[in-house]
Amino acid sequence: MVDNMNLCLLLLLFISVILPVWSEPTPAPWPLQFHSTQVLRNRQGQLQINELWYDWPNGRNLNIIYKQLGEIIYDLEWDNGTSYYYTREQCTTMHFPVGILRPNFLDGANYLGQQRKDGFLCNVWEKVGFIWYYEDVVTNTPVSWTFYSGLSTQVMTFEVGKVLDDSNWQAPVYCFEEAKIKQDHHPLLQSPFPLIRDV
C-alpha cells in the first residue's frame, strides 16, 4: 500500500512539473505604428476596403475607406477627440471625447476561448458588448473583429512600423470652413475606445 501511495505522489509530482500551468491568454497590445489593409462588410452587407494607418506616438489614426464601385471616404482621427470625415467635395467635423484607440484598448476584455476564423486558429475576446476581437494564436496578429453594429473587419495585411508621410495627415481646407463642430455624446463613446463609425 505504501508503494502505491508513493507511486501516486510521484505521478502527481511528475504531472505538476511537466504540465505547464494554464492561464487565459491576454490580447497583444497594438504596435505603436502600423498599416493594415482590411476588407469590411457593413451591416447592410456592402463591401469596402479600408487602409488603416495607426500612429499612436503622434496621436492620429486614418481610415481610407474605398466603397465598392463608389467614392473614397477619409476618416481622420486625432487624439484630441477631433475627427474629420471627408470626400473630395464635402467634410464633416466631429468631436469624440475619448480620442483614438489606445494600444491596450482590449485590457479587461472577456476571453471567449479559441475559434477558427478565416482559416486561422484564434484567441477570441469580447469587450463591453461592443467588439469581438480575433487574434492568431501563433503570431498574435489580429485576424478579424466585429462591432456591435454588425460591421465586420477581415485583416488582409498588418505591417508593423509602417508610417504614412506627414503630408497625408492634413484634412483639406474646406474642413476648416465649417463653422460648427458636431459633438457626439453617444453612451458608447464613454467606453475605453471610440465608436467605430460604420460608414
Q: What is the pLDDT of residues 147-176, one digit of tens each?
A: 999 999 999 999 999 999 999 999 999 998
Pick the closest to residue 171 from 58, 72, 95, 62 (CA basis).
62
Return the ∠ at Cα 64 (arms to 58 and 66), rounded to 5°.
175
The three grid cell numbers given for residue 8, joined into one nine-digit string: 501516486
Residue 41 has pLDDT above 80, yes or no: yes
pLDDT of residue 42: 85
The three grid cell numbers given for residue 79, joined into one nine-digit string: 487624439
Mean per-residue pLDDT of the chain: 85
If one compares 117 and 194, the residue with the highest pLDDT of the two is 117
Beta bridge partners of 48: 40, 67
Q: Confirm if 110 and 38 have CB atoms less than 8 A apart.
A: no
CB neighbour list of residue 146: distance below 8 Å, 6 or more residues apart: 131, 132, 152, 153
Q: Lowest-confidence range among 58-67, 84-93, 111-120, 187-196?
A: 187-196
**What gap in Å lies between CA 105 and CA 56, rounded to an integer?**
12
Write down the domain spans for the chain. Answer: 33-108+150-162+171-190
Question: Is the pTM here over 0.75, yes or no?
Answer: yes
Report how far apart, in Å, the C-alpha atoms of 81 and of each of 95, 153, 163, 199 are: 5, 23, 21, 18
Residue 199 has pLDDT above 50, yes or no: no
pLDDT of residue 79: 93
Residue 196 has pLDDT above 60, yes or no: no
Q: Confirm if 124 and 134 have CB atoms less than 8 A apart.
A: yes
